[in-house]
A and B are shown apart, each in its own frame.
Chain A
Amino acid sequence: MRKIVGVAAATAAALGAGLWVASAPRPMDSATLDALQGDAMRGQAVYLAAGCSSCHAGPARDADPLILSGGREFASDFGTFIAPNISTDPIYGIGGWTQAQFINAVMRGVSPDGAHYYPAFPYTSYIRAEPQDMADLFAYMQTLPADATPSQPQDLAFPFNIRRAVGLWKALYLHEDWVITGDLTEEETRGRYLAEGLAHCAECHTPRNALGALDHGRWFLGAPNPSGTGRIPAIAGPDFDWTAFDISAYLETGLTPAFDVVGGSMAPVVRSLQQLEKSELDAIAAYILRAGQ
């Protein structure tokens, strides 16, 4: 009997140790990331493509979307996520972070003190970014204002409030592979980088499984609105018949081919993307049509 208990205890301990190891944060090498030279001018375009303001802009977002004091709430099946302060404030924001800490936060979802972020922060897309772009983004964000609003704790139900478990989720779902593969034109390839990476289109336009991971088999086919009523529309599949001109014009002006005007959570996305070069919007459009084939 004592032997059985001993084996059970040892098995449980081994399982626990295994889960602990499997759920460990896996940041990239700090020295390599810190060695990158960021360019703030280039970083502005990265910032606009990545849509940081869309979630992190504070209550004064209409007047100044560059005050990244956070506070915006995102209801979900797992609880309510609250965007943190990512302004340059050294205490309440990320003003005290190193470049490597920043890049590991954005591309691996790992905080400076080694905790997992929840994947409401779309590092599942940002993992496909070029570290150099992230260094440029970091340089640009140093130029934005500081704001001393404290970040609010995430309001999640058990068991989703166990951060360490996010490590197991990452082991299953955090991959840097491209979703759409095969022969792509140069423009489609650029569009894929923007859409699957920085602009993280799929985070809203692709449905998720029960664990909240994107269903790559239903890429861009639309999904329930995670934070309200209605649906996030499909941008692929039989019900989506926009041309490349239509998509690019929508991202530039917020006008659909039927001249409805963008609203909801897509409105700030358009406000950011419309500041990019038109060729970048054309590239996203080319990729979206390629992805829908």
Chain B
Amino acid sequence: MKFRSFVCIIALGTTIALPTFAQDNPAIGQRQGQFKLFVHNFGLLGGMAQGRIDYDADMAQLAADNLFYLTRHDQSRLWPEGTDSASVSGTRANPAIWENLDDFVAKFGALQTAAEGLQQVAGGGLDAMRAGFGPVGQSCQACHEAYRDEAS
């Protein structure tokens, strides 16, 4: 909820609409860094889920713990108004995010829930980890489908 209220305040309060480049607003690179860390952990679990690497309970648990904590990182300063793909270059964040903030926040909440579910089962064997892994991927996909532009 903190995330939502902060973003709403930004949305209401920001009137600066000068065209800018992504590098002008560090929040864009910083949130992209956050997603890279998601993938850093999600990818290890995915590799195990797909049989590309052997399942290791300790490593799986560690990655799931990381993902749990990473998805708890407060988002309130990562999505300032005017950092959408129609306003600046260097981002794939669709303007629809700021038009549907409630839904965007709900989708992030679904990721948090799925990450918690994965954390509870990741160390409990390959099949259990796989069952927890699927919903995390689905929560990523739901948000990417609605709010992420194609790469350039």
Seed contacts A230-B149, A255-B46, A261-B144; 7 additional CB < 8 Å A-B pairs:
A225-B150, A228-B150, A230-B151, A231-B151, A233-B151, A261-B140, A264-B145
Q: How far is the CA of A268 from the CA of B141 in the complex (A)?
A: 10
Residues of A contacting B42 with CB < 8 Å? 259
In the docked arrangement, what's the CA distance between A228 and B92, Å? Answer: 11
Q: Does B149 lie within 8 Å of A229, measured CB to CB?
A: yes
CB of A254 closer than 8 Å to a CB of B: yes
A259 to B35, CA, bound (A): 11
Closest to B134 in A: A253
Q: What is the interface of chain B mostly: helix, strand, loop, or mixed? A: helix
Instruction: Give the interface of A toward B (CB within 8 A).
Output: 62, 225, 228-233, 249, 253-255, 258-264, 267-268, 270
Question: For residue A231, which residues in chain B have a CB less than 8 angstroms away from its CB?
Answer: 150-152
In angstroms, Cα B50 to Cα A231, docked, is 28
In the bound complex, do residue A258 and residue B43 qualify as a contact, i.e. CB atoms below 8 Å apart? yes
Interface membership of B33, Cβ < 8 A:
no
Task: Specify the main secondary structure of chain A where it touches its partner.
Answer: loop
User: Contact between B145 and A268 (Cβ–Cβ < 8 Å)?
Assistant: yes
Selected from A225, A233, A254, A268, the residue in CB contact (under 8 A) with B137 is A254
Cβ contact within 8 Å between B46 and A263: no
A232 with B150: in contact, given A253-B50, A253-B137 (CB under 8 Å)?
A: yes
Q: What residues on B are CB-neighbors of A268 within 8 Å? A: 145
B47 at the binding interface (Cβ < 8 Å): yes
Beyond A229-B85, A230-B92, A255-B137, whether A262 also contacts B144 by CB under 8 A is yes
0 or 1 for each of B112-140: is its CB under 8 Å from A? (1 = yes): 00000000000000000000000001001
Name the CB-closest residue of A to B45. A259
A286 nearest CB across to chain B (Å): 18
Give Cα A229 to B90, complex, Å: 12
Asked if B59 lies at the interface with its beta carbon under 8 angstroms from chain A, I say no
Known: A249-B50, A261-B137. A229 touches B150 (CB 8 A): yes
Known: A229-B85, A264-B148. A258 touches B39 (CB 8 A): yes
* Measured CA separation A264–B150 after assembly (Å): 7
Q: Of A253, A259, A267, A270, which one neighbours B43 at CB under 8 angstroms?
A: A259
- Please tell me if the beta carbons of B148 and A263 are within 8 angstroms of each other in the complex: yes
- Min CB distance A243 to B, Å, is 11
The interface residues of chain B lying within 8 Å CB-to-CB of A267 are 141, 144-145
- Out of A254, A259, A261, name the residue touching B47 (CB < 8 Å): A259
Least CB distance, A33 to chain B, in whole angstroms: 36
Shortest CB–CB separation between residue A224 and chain B, in angstroms? 9
